[in-house]
Amino acid sequence: MTSGNLIHALYGHRTSLDPAFVLPDGPSLSTGEVLTAIDKAAAALTACGVKAGDRVSVRVGKCVEAVFLAHACFKAGAILHPMNTAYTSREVEALLADARPVLFVCDPDETAAFGATAARYGFRMEGLRGSRGSFADLTRASGPGAETVDLPDDAPAALLYTSGTTGRPKGALITHGNLAASARALAEVWRLGGEDVLLHALPAYHAHGLLTAINVMLAAGGAICFVPRFEAEAVLRELPRCTVMMGVPTHYARLLKEPGLGEAVSGAFRLAISGSAPLPPDIAHRFRQVTGMEIIERYGSTEAAIITAIPPGTAGRRGWVGWPLPGVRARVANENGRFESAATGVLETRGHNVCAGYWNRPEEQAFTDDGWFVTGDVAEIDDAGCIRILGRETDVVISGGLNVYPKEVEDALDRAAGVAGSAVFGVPHPYFGEAVVAVVESPTSASFDENACIGYLKTELAPYKVPKRIIAVDAIPRNELGKVAKAALRETHGGLFAAEKDRPGTTGKAD
């Protein structure tokens, strides 16, 4: 075994008796038991014809057996391709056609549905649902003794597809070195150790839950309380024996509706971490009021893992995502050049975090001439090098020739009376090119005073940044990781100003 294989970074420093997974409705699993399970799953992969460098596509519900399978892929040198369980058959087939796996592991009930796809592309299918299914049977029948494949740091470990919001999804090749270094760096920044227990209620198909959360705790020597799904009552039952939680904003919003949250985190619990989507200030404020602690944020991307994080105990940085991790650099690029502090622009990064490129898409390598990865996010870096994300470059609204960054407007909206959350986006306008529009979540949406809110914003923002319409809704559309579905909002509200060109007296003069 060499240090290049991620398995060494995750398990090489642990004793066989160290607790690894704590199962709410079952026994705890020691590191030795987990390694045996991984060993047997790796032998089952070999029985399925999987070799180092082969892709293994996986679409199964959350269970520890899925984690063992993922780590078995790492051990065998195969490339793990995790898939969202919410994907439609058409989406699954498109990704399988691109990834060309040797093996596809799915729910046993789905093997028939993808039989034609398997025949077309020549991959093997096995079923897995917890401890049941044909792959589970193969694992039980396998003996221990599978070797950990020697690999260099730059060997691909995972194939993660982007969301495809601007075109067909692209597969980022994440290396063993990427994952190992990111896990160690996060453990250092967050000061995690063997005494820590992570409350894990995230999906196990997404990088946040499957790679970041699990990897950092194993690398730190801690244990993982593995909750099958996020249910607020179940999470509250487990929190008293945990020290850390990694969640998305919607998780914390749901927990704040539970009367027992303050008591649940009154013991050893010390660190609440949010990622995958911006944390609304109202949620951060209410969590502080109820628990006495700040939720800290971190920031990353599919292609660049975790780029920045807030260290525990940091004061005065609510709404910021922190400093680059050890071994990672970040800068912004704008019309005046590239800067690592005191500037705003498109965020670029380089270091151990950046992927090896895109699978079968050499023409779409998103790197600068000097080797920095272009994230596509607009960010502010202050004099201290701390970073605040202002939104996607593609989300910037250009109204009357002036750039409006949605995050700046959302921050102002979230301070307005009666606003529990907001999303700002641009829609076509016959005179301004784009108009700034906002939707807000309001507990009193039926009586929301749009004009009063616009009047308030005019005291907070330059006139061109103030939304021309603010629409109150019961809930802003988000995906299960809490990211706002801005494409859906633009589509829904795209015709708001279609009649403006016919209205007498309208001009193209900026407000």
The answer as to whether 190 is a domain residue is no
Identify whether residues 145 and 52 lie together within a single domain.
Answer: yes
Q: 96 CB contacts (<8 Å, ≥6 apart)?
A: 57, 104, 114, 117, 121, 123
Using CA atoms, how far apart are residues 43 and 57, in angstroms rounded to an integer? 17
Contact in structure between 114 and 123 (CB atoms under 8 Å) = no
Identify whether residues 22 and 163 lie together within a single domain.
Answer: yes
Q: Which amino acid is at 345?
A: G
Q: Which residue carries 């100003």 as its tokens?
A: 497
- 57 φ, ψ (degrees, to nearest 5): -90, 135
Contact in structure between 176 and 30 (CB atoms under 8 Å) = no
The answer as to whether 348 is a domain residue is yes
Contact in structure between 50 and 103 (CB atoms under 8 Å) = yes
Query: 444 or 392, which is more confident?
Result: 392
Contact in structure between 441 and 419 (CB atoms under 8 Å) = yes
Confidence class for position 274, pLDDT limits 50, 70, 90: very high
The answer as to whether 247 is a domain residue is no
Confidence class for position 245, pLDDT limits 50, 70, 90: very high
Query: For every residue of 82-122, which 3-state class applies, written as one string?
Result: ECCCCCCHHHHHHHHHHHCCCEEEECHHHCCCCHHHHHHHC
Specify which residues 224 forms β-bridges with: 21, 198
Identify whether residues 388 and 483 lie together within a single domain.
Answer: no
Whole-number Cα distances in Å, 165 to 278, 336, 360, 486: 18, 29, 19, 10
Using CA atoms, how far apart are residues 305 and 496, in angstroms rounded to an integer? 38
* Tens-place pLDDT, residues 214-229: 999 999 999 999 999 9
Identify whether residues 364 and 417 lie together within a single domain.
Answer: no
Identify whether residues 299 and 162 lie together within a single domain.
Answer: no
Which of 360, 393, 426 is the C-terminal boundary of a domain? 393
Give 256-303 as a DSSP string: TTSTTHHHHTSSS--EEEE-SSPPPHHHHHHHHHHHSSPEEEEEEETT
Using CA atoms, how far apart are residues 370 and 361, in angstroms rounded to an integer? 20
Identify whether residues 58 and 119 lie together within a single domain.
Answer: yes
pLDDT at 427 over 70: yes
Confidence class for position 407, pLDDT limits 50, 70, 90: confident
Identify whether residues 305 and 388 lie together within a single domain.
Answer: yes
Using CA atoms, how far apart are residues 217 and 244, in angstroms rounded to an integer? 10
Query: 375 or 482, which is more confident?
Result: 375
Burial call 171-195: b when 16+ CB within 10 Å, e when fewer: bbbbbbbbbbbbbbbbbbbbebeee
The pLDDT assigned to 501 comes to: 59
Q: Which domain covers residue 492, as residue numbers?
A: 396-502
The pLDDT assigned to 433 comes to: 83
Confidence class for position 509, pLDDT limits 50, 70, 90: very low
The answer as to whether 136 is a domain residue is yes
Secondary structure class of 57 (helix, strand, coil): strand
Taking each continuous run of H as one helix and of E as one strand, the counts in the chain are 15, 25
The answer as to whether 35 is a domain residue is yes
Which of 348, 363, 393 is the C-terminal boundary of a domain? 393
Identify whether residues 23 and 52 lie together within a single domain.
Answer: yes
The answer as to whether 200 is a domain residue is no
Question: To the nearest whole number, what is the mean pLDDT of the chain?
Answer: 91
pLDDT at 326 over 80: yes
* Tens-place pLDDT, residues 78-137: 999 999 998 889 889 999 999 999 999 999 999 999 999 999 999 999 999 999 999 999
The pLDDT assigned to 508 comes to: 39
- How many C-alpha atoms does 422 have within 13 Å on its Cβ side? 26
Confidence class for position 2, pLDDT limits 50, 70, 90: very low
Which of 128, 149, 181 is the C-terminal boundary of a domain? 181
The pLDDT assigned to 478 comes to: 87
Average pLDDT over residues 251-268: 94
Q: Which residue carries 């529990």 as its tokens?
A: 420
Identify whether residues 114 and 161 lie together within a single domain.
Answer: yes
The answer as to whether 193 is a domain residue is no
Q: List the CATH number of the domain containing 475.
A: 3.30.300.30
Using CA atoms, how far apart are residues 492 and 276, in angstroms rounded to an integer? 24
pLDDT at 504 over 50: no
Confidence class for position 25, pLDDT limits 50, 70, 90: confident
* Tens-place pLDDT, residues 147-195: 899 999 999 999 999 865 445 788 999 999 999 999 999 999 999 999 9
The answer as to whether 61 is a domain residue is yes
Identify whether residues 40 and 162 lie together within a single domain.
Answer: yes
The pLDDT assigned to 166 comes to: 45
Q: List the CATH number of the domain containing 299.
A: 2.30.38.10
Nearest 10 degrees: Cα torsion 225, 231, 232, 236: -30
The pLDDT assigned to 163 comes to: 64
Name the percent of the chain in helix, strand, coil, to the closest 5.
30, 25, 40
Identify whether residues 145 and 13 lie together within a single domain.
Answer: yes
- Number of domains making up the chain: 3
Identify whether residues 153 and 121 lie together within a single domain.
Answer: yes
The pLDDT assigned to 169 comes to: 81
Query: For every residue of 145-210, which 3-state class applies, written as one string?
Result: CCCCCCCCCCCEEEEEECCCCCCCCCEEEEEHHHHHHHHHHHHHHCCCCCCCEEEECCCCCCHHHH
- What is the pairing mode between strands 305-309 and 295-301? antiparallel
Query: For every residue of 387-412, which 3-state class applies, written as one string?
Result: EEEEEEHHHCEEECCEEECHHHHHHH
Q: pTM for the full model?
A: 0.85
Secondary structure class of 373 (helix, strand, coil): strand
- Among the residue ranges 124-133, 136-145, 473-482, the one predicted with the least confidence is 473-482
Share of the chain above pLDDT 70, in %: 96
pLDDT at 3 over 80: no
* Tens-place pLDDT, residues 362-388: 777 789 999 999 999 999 999 999 999
Using CA atoms, how far apart are residues 240 and 264, in angstroms rounded to an integer? 5
Q: List the CATH number of the domain containing 25.
A: 3.40.50.980
- What is the pairing mode between strands 79-82 and 55-59? parallel
The pLDDT assigned to 503 comes to: 54
Whole-number Cα distances in Å, 419 to 71, 437, 439, 464, 488: 44, 15, 10, 21, 21
